[in-house]
Structure 1
Amino acid sequence: MRSRVCLVTLLIFFCCPLFMPSTAWAAKASEGGLAPLSKSALLLDADTGTVLYEKNSRERLAPASITKIMTMLLVMEGIDSQKISYNDPVRVSERAASMGGSQIFLEPGETMKLNELLKGVAIGSANDASVALAEHISGTEEGFVAQMNKRAQELGMKDTHFQNPNGLSAPEHYSTAQDIAIMSRELLKYPAITKYTRIYEDHLRKGSKNPFWLVNTNRLVKFYQGMDGIKTGFTSEAKFCLSATAKRKNFRVIAVVMGAPNGKTRNQEITRMLNFAFSQYINHVVYKQGEKITTLHVDKGQQNRIIFRAPHQFSLVIKKGEDPKGYVKRMEWRKLKAPLKKGQPIGSIHVEKGGREVVRMDLAAGRDIPRAGTWTLMKRSLKWMFFLPEDVEPSEVNPS
């Protein structure tokens, strides 16, 4: 029997502000001097963006190879949109092969699968592989850099400007710990990337006469519990940098340091920051991935009832031993009328404590809902006039 009421599930986008009120926590953390020797640092919860510690996080500095996080992000977005694939053969240009510094020694005219080049970037921080990927995606390195800067602006990275896809020193190539955290968090929305960034050692050109041994420049993926990324960086100008992520149970943390005097200090300060997060805080889940949030009516919509489900886990970071019942959840919804466009604001969910907003998520439609046709609207009117029952009843809002 054809349903008289259309029920459609929409995924929603979470647009949580990255740096929500956590000033008191950050101040308390800074008393312990988590990163005393690095020029800049930031520690945050990857899920909500709640800042747990910061030091000069908006200071513009040379990012070195941490730049490649944006390169990997554009690769993953291209794969997700099916513009490129892991199995694409990528032909290496003279330009790509000429890159110095960290490299996998690509030869001009050599063909390597995109999957292998991505591995070279994620594990070995290969400058030549970064340029090869850039040219494959955008046609030219310059075109790719323009795409990098455009994406940075879209993400709200206000203090970042790229001049190349690999992080080699350039006059107007800079970023901040805050902006690096933003793009790191965005990259982690593609879980497949950690299949590369967590590898400690591997080989390229397996089975050939010239296999290339890769060892992860981020040694902590082997020695720190739960670490599975993301990217190191070093130049004489930038000194030692690292954007690291580790996950324990359902709690994922991102730690960034820039301008550490040496690799040992960089790793020590990242370790200290992560230890602080895991020892002091827990991740309280508000909505699990796929969990229903609510059902709403769309006036004159082709589908007139929509179910919202969480596309990924949404959580609240609280101090260990703190009672989560002290937090209040408040939901705000807009009146919806067709046509409804993908990305159109729908409402928001606020988590508050003592009248102060702790974290929020802004909700937007995950697909278009066109206006219903005349015949459909007429049938609905007749059903309403004659009190005809609906075949599908909407579920009640149950945010708990």
Structure 2
Amino acid sequence: MKKIGLTVLVIISVVLGSPSTLLAHHESNHDVVEASESESLDLAPNSASAILIERDTGNILYDKNSTEKLPPASMTKIMTLLLIMEALEKNELTLEEEVRISENAASMGGSQIFLEAGEEMSVNDLLKGVAIASANDASVALAERIAGSEQVFVEMMNDKLEELGLTSTKFQNATGLPADDHYSTAHDMAVMAKALLKYDDITNYTSVYEDYLRKGSENEFWLVNTNKLVRFYDGVDGLKTGYTKEAKYCLTATAEKNGMRTIAVVMGAENTKKRNSDVSGLLDYAYAKFETKPLFDKNQTITTFEWLKADKQKVDVVTSDSVSVLYSKGTDSSQFDTKITINKDVTLPLEKGTMVGKLQVVDGEEVVSETDLIVLDDIEHANIMQLFKRTFQSFF
């Protein structure tokens, strides 16, 4: 096993004055872990495009035409789910809220939970409909609730792509129903899935094989997961299937075994059997060849500093995501170091989740991974009484 060292490059001074602007930062490590045999193997023989990554590091374990632009079908809903989870995190939406279904949402074809115009359903149940049954009507209902219209929601989807640095995807709707100029790649779907999986609660929905909506009522609806691997492959707990005549059969799947979470994407398979076979083969390869060592949990405190002018004088700086190192099984371990950089130029107020630094895992001179460090709470300016009390206490 590799030993973990800790090197702090920059630590904020004991008392901060008036820090300045902060640039947005995203994890950037998507290097391929060297595995010579994978270059000659076709691990997804039934798919036009495929990719396999380890979630924490973003390392690519296998790639087959992963940048080819293809219709993603209902895998589009990975982005829809990501924006739903963000709205829940920001308290712009609650699971208990009842959403009134519009004529537009109720009119969606394809996979659906047969919502009726004027019906009200909780966000929690609509989320089940999207995550388990790939319901187009539930997707549009939540999109309309969050953005006011599906059109505006689609603009949010495409803005999020830009934020994630994804340039080979464009969305025209929240469902994945066939539309001109609606496309993605296996690579981009994997990155979206990686972002979605920051929300631990999402797998509470995507891992469910069957459930019911409107249980006990005359219009009770039986939900059955479109991703059969959640039942038949140990460790699989999501994420999203897709099918249209043009896209053929697609799947973005995630599994967790022995503390290592992987994401496998396949696009353009001829049937569900071949699609599931390719994903299973990719996951088998990942867990046979690689393993991870966890370093930090999500939201783990990395350092704490005092901020005289903030309402919370002691501010915890935490990891924005879990941090691990990935290596091939049986390889001789070398030294990993952890380097922490805290940005000195930060201004009040700060919103929950604001990036204030970064944590790098390095192997010699090579940066293995990079993770944002954030604040967990909103931080405002201290009021006059707080400043007076702190000044008074400093004399004793």
TM-score surpassing 0.5?
A: yes
Cα distance in 2 for residues equivalent to 1:111 and 1:344: 35
- CA RMSD in angstroms comes to 3.0
Measured at CA, do residues 287 and 15 of structure 1 come closer, stay the same or move farther in structure 2, by a change above 3 Å? farther
Cα distance in 1 for residues equivalent to 2:306 and 2:97: 44
Cα distance in 2 for residues equivalent to 1:19 and 1:38: 26
Aligned to 2:359: 349
Pick aligned residue for 2:240 from 222, 225, 231: 231
Cα distance in 1 for residues equivalent to 2:175 and 2:131: 11
Q: Bigger shift: 53-62 or 322-331?
A: 322-331
Pick aligned residue for 1:51 from 36, 41, 60: 60
* Amino acid across the alignment from 2:323: F
**1:96 match: secondary structure:** helix
Instruction: Give matches, 1:245-324, under 5 Å.
Output: 245-296=254-305, 306-324=315-333
Query: Could you give the per-residue CA deviations for residues 199-221 of structure 1, whole angstroms, max 9, x where no partner exists?
Result: 11122221111222221110000
Aligned to 1:209: 218
Aligned to 2:123: 114
Cα distance in 2 for residues equivalent to 1:337 and 1:95: 45
**TM-score, with length taken from structure 1:** 0.83
Aligned to 2:185: 176
* Amino acid across the alignment from 1:356: E
Pick aligned residue for 1:41 from 41, 47, 50: 50
How far has the Cα of 1:325 moved from its partner?
3.9
Cα distance in 1 for residues equivalent to 2:372 and 2:204: 30
Measured at CA, do residues 378 and 222 of structure 1 come closer, stay the same or move farther in structure 2, by a change above 3 Å? closer
2:112–2:133 contact (8 Å) kept in structure 1: yes
Pick aligned residue for 2:370 from 360, 364, 368: 360
Aligned to 2:94: 85
Aligned to 2:204: 195
Aligned to 1:29: 38
1:14–1:361 contact (8 Å) kept in structure 2: no
Measured at CA, do residues 336 and 372 of structure 1 come closer, stay the same or move farther in structure 2, by a change above 3 Å? farther
Query: Could you give the per-residue CA deviations for residues 29-54 of structure 1, whole angstroms, max 9, x where no partner exists?
Result: 23221112311111111112111111
1:16–1:49 contact (8 Å) kept in structure 2: no
How far has the Cα of 1:84 moved from its partner?
1.6
Instruction: Give matches, 1:158-177, under 5 Å.
Output: 158-177=167-186
Cα distance in 2 for residues equivalent to 1:85 and 1:221: 26
How far has the Cα of 1:18 moved from its partner?
4.8
Cα distance in 2 for residues equivalent to 1:87 and 1:365: 27
Task: Select the structure of larger CA radius of gyration.
Answer: 1
Cα distance in 2 for residues equivalent to 1:216 and 1:297: 48
Instruction: Give matches, 1:327-342, under 5 Å.
Output: 327-335=336-344, 339=348, 341-342=350-351
Q: Which runs of 5+ in 2 are unaligned?
A: 1-13, 17-22
Aligned residue pairs total: 373
Q: Bigger shift: 319-328 or 259-268?
A: 319-328
* Amino acid across the alignment from 1:144: F
Cα distance in 1 for residues equivalent to 2:207 and 2:231: 8
Measured at CA, do residues 23 and 285 of structure 1 come closer, stay the same or move farther in structure 2, by a change above 3 Å? closer
Cα distance in 2 for residues equivalent to 1:318 and 1:190: 25
Cα distance in 2 for residues equivalent to 1:37 and 1:334: 47
Query: Could you give the per-residue CA deviations for residues 58-111 of structure 1, whole angstroms, max 9, x where no partner exists?
Result: 211100000111111122211221212112222222222222111112222222
How far has the Cα of 1:334 moved from its partner?
4.3
Aligned to 2:135: 126
Query: Could you give the per-residue CA deviations for residues 110-137 of structure 1, whole angstroms, max 9, x where no partner exists?
Result: 2222221211111111112211222222
Cα distance in 1 for residues equivalent to 2:335 and 2:328: 12
**1:24 match: secondary structure:** coil
1:168–1:235 contact (8 Å) kept in structure 2: yes
How far has the Cα of 1:17 moved from its partner?
2.9
Pick aligned residue for 2:251 from 242, 251, 266: 242
Aligned to 1:218: 227
* Amino acid across the alignment from 1:59: E
Matched, 1:186 2:217: no
Instruction: Give matches, 1:7-18, under 5 Å.
Output: 17-18=27-28
Cα distance in 2 for residues equivalent to 1:165 and 1:283: 34
Cα distance in 2 for residues equivalent to 1:323 and 1:296: 37
How far has the Cα of 1:146 moved from its partner?
1.5
1:93–1:132 contact (8 Å) kept in structure 2: yes
Identity across matched positions, percent: 45
**1:109 match: secondary structure:** coil
Aligned to 2:112: 103
Measured at CA, do residues 303 and 168 of structure 1 come closer, stay the same or move farther in structure 2, by a change above 3 Å? closer
Aligned to 2:152: 143
* Amino acid across the alignment from 1:277: A
1:297–1:336 contact (8 Å) kept in structure 2: no
Aligned to 2:84: 75
Query: Could you give the per-residue CA deviations for residues 232-260 of structure 1, whole angstroms, max 9, x where no partner exists?
Result: 00001111110101111321111111111
